[in-house]
Structure 1
């Protein structure tokens, strides 16, 4: 399939990462008592898991079936199979800590690098057991989508998810307002569970646009899907927020672009912020690692709200 470049779509690409996961989280907290209670239970279970005296059994690699829903208005947005496969390749490197650029982690943080033991594959069976490529394509009259989950429903110009307890649903579309992507934390409604990525920030080829052209937006958003928070604590620089992870230094806010080590904030010298973490806001070529305690949170998520994927 040929991707035709539309010059108007190429312009005005954001130069700073923008993720709407926390915005979506606060919206759901406000609107849904059920979500609020689920989140309290999930964090309580996570803390119990992390502080448990019993030794956690070492788990094997968990393989996550993925369905990618391409929702397109123009030909350019209808990204190629090759571009989708390039994204799956990135996820498999990043979540196994086998990405070549992991060598860029400063020596101060090298001992904290961790393999999440998660691998992703485009599913070969749909929910009815029929053979599939793991890719759906939907032509829409919607020119772009906002952070209101409309891309996740056929009724609002998008496409419905496959069962969220069996598949990681990823929607790829044109997002509004310079947004790169967003995810739904565990505990939200199944009909909106999954990750949304702008078509220019997905994979490493085709429409992938610098500085978000190495597939790291999906790594970041799937981190949220596994219950990881932004490393800066989302407190707008107040130094009192938390990503609920013990081995990431307290930092003032998200870093953007390509910071130089050390980047010091919140009295966290001499090593400063762990800006090279996937859960910061830096450019794709600058985020390269998850930590041991982030992986422990992912483990807790797989034991709890995402446990259906352990036996898939």
Structure 2
């Protein structure tokens, strides 16, 4: 499969300074720090592609960008529910977000991952037939609140060291804490250290009510980051046209899109799926996961999968 965890090419990305998600940067740092992690990631990729290929059939037509080339048949997992722990880490009253703000984020996750989002109709006709109900839902299992004078936590997982994840094998842990540097959030991919497993999101980009900041006040930062947590890559594959996201039904692109791009936005000789949650567009201009992304996410819950323990 080659070197599929490449260093993000910020120098060639459109608007690379506006890197709102640091999941790939964090992953690349972890790969350098932990020599054994690459093999774990490789094994996940191998198992994911093998499972999808076994359940699928060849794609007929379409302009996919590699990554298995299959259209999976339905699996037998049913709706996968993920229990969520939220750790609110705050240095002032604004950052100590309300229970209502937390609930609004859980609502967005459920809507987006079940294709029940009110803006689903905004997906262009070219891609609307690929928009997927991932059959993944979320339920809040508990909230922990921690007052801490630290004004910004960065992306070195310090907030997780201060407040370790609770039963990460069976629960999605989310830290709502100010990251700083204009960074919205970052997630850990499957098979990383259990001590740092989960997602970090700055409070002003979490949920839809209370202490939120436009244009990222629609809860889509968490939809994006949870996508990473469930093994999705950025829609452009974190490289130029020849680097993909390992999903057959998402067109190739050479860099992220920002703001609310007009349709069509053409890169790599195809129309970008700019409304995909794994791009960098504004919250109001995101509206879909693809069927291929659904298959990729659900593969990690299969028997022996990297997050199969969450079903127990």
State whether TM-score is above 0.5: yes
The alpha-carbon deviation at position 60 of structure 1 amounts to 1.1
Structure 2 distance, partners of 1:94, 1:208, is: 18
Corresponding residue number in structure 2 for 1:149: 157
Corresponding residue number in structure 2 for 1:122: 140
Structure 1 distance, partners of 2:231, 2:191, is: 10
The alpha-carbon deviation at position 161 of structure 1 amounts to 0.8
Equivalent pair of 2:21/2:183 in contact (CA under 8 Å): yes
Q: SS where residue 145 of structure 1 aligns? A: coil
The alpha-carbon deviation at position 153 of structure 1 amounts to 1.7
Q: How does 1:272-287 map to 2 (within 5 A)?
A: 272-287=271-286
The alpha-carbon deviation at position 16 of structure 1 amounts to 4.9
Equivalent pair of 1:77/1:173 in contact (CA under 8 Å): yes
Deviation string, structure 1 residues 34-90 (Cα, Å, up to 9, x no partner): 211110110110111111157663321111110000000111110000000000000
Q: How does 1:201-220 map to 2 (within 5 A)?
A: 201-220=205-224
Equivalent pair of 1:20/1:179 in contact (CA under 8 Å): yes
Corresponding residue number in structure 1 for 2:45: 43
Q: How does 1:132-147 map to 2 (within 5 A)?
A: 134-147=142-155
Q: SS where residue 284 of structure 2 aligns? A: coil
Corresponding residue number in structure 2 for 1:93: 111
Aligned length: 278
Equivalent pair of 1:17/1:256 in contact (CA under 8 Å): no
Equivalent pair of 1:17/1:283 in contact (CA under 8 Å): no
Deviation string, structure 1 residues 272-309 (Cα, Å, up to 9, x no partner): 10000000000000011000000000111111100011
Corresponding residue number in structure 2 for 1:309: 310
Equivalent pair of 2:175/2:199 in contact (CA under 8 Å): yes
Structure 2 distance, partners of 1:35, 1:190, is: 12
Corresponding residue number in structure 2 for 1:60: 78
Please report the TM-score for the alignment, with normalisation by the length of structure 1: 0.87
The alpha-carbon deviation at position 162 of structure 1 amounts to 0.2
Question: Which of 22, 26, 29 in structure 2 is aligned with 1:24?
Answer: 26
Structure 1 distance, partners of 2:55, 2:287, is: 31
Corresponding residue number in structure 1 for 2:246: 244
The alpha-carbon deviation at position 190 of structure 1 amounts to 0.2
* Unmatched segments (≥5 aa) in structure 2: 1-16, 57-72
Corresponding residue number in structure 2 for 1:130: none
* Unmatched segments (≥5 aa) in structure 1: 1-14, 124-133
Structure 1 segments, 4+ long, off by >6 Å, are none
**What RMSD in Å do the two structures reach over aligned CA positions?**
1.3
Equivalent pair of 1:17/1:282 in contact (CA under 8 Å): no
1:80 aligns with 2:82: no
Question: Which of 190, 193, 197 in structure 2 is aligned with 1:189?
Answer: 193
Question: Which of 174, 199, 216 in structure 1 is aligned with 2:203?
Answer: 199
Equivalent pair of 2:109/2:137 in contact (CA under 8 Å): yes
Corresponding residue number in structure 1 for 2:14: none
1:162 aligns with 2:138: no
Name the CA shift for 1:53/1:105 in 2 (closer, same or farther; >3 Å). Answer: closer
1:255 aligns with 2:257: yes
Q: SS where residue 170 of structure 2 aligns? A: coil
Equivalent pair of 2:170/2:311 in contact (CA under 8 Å): no
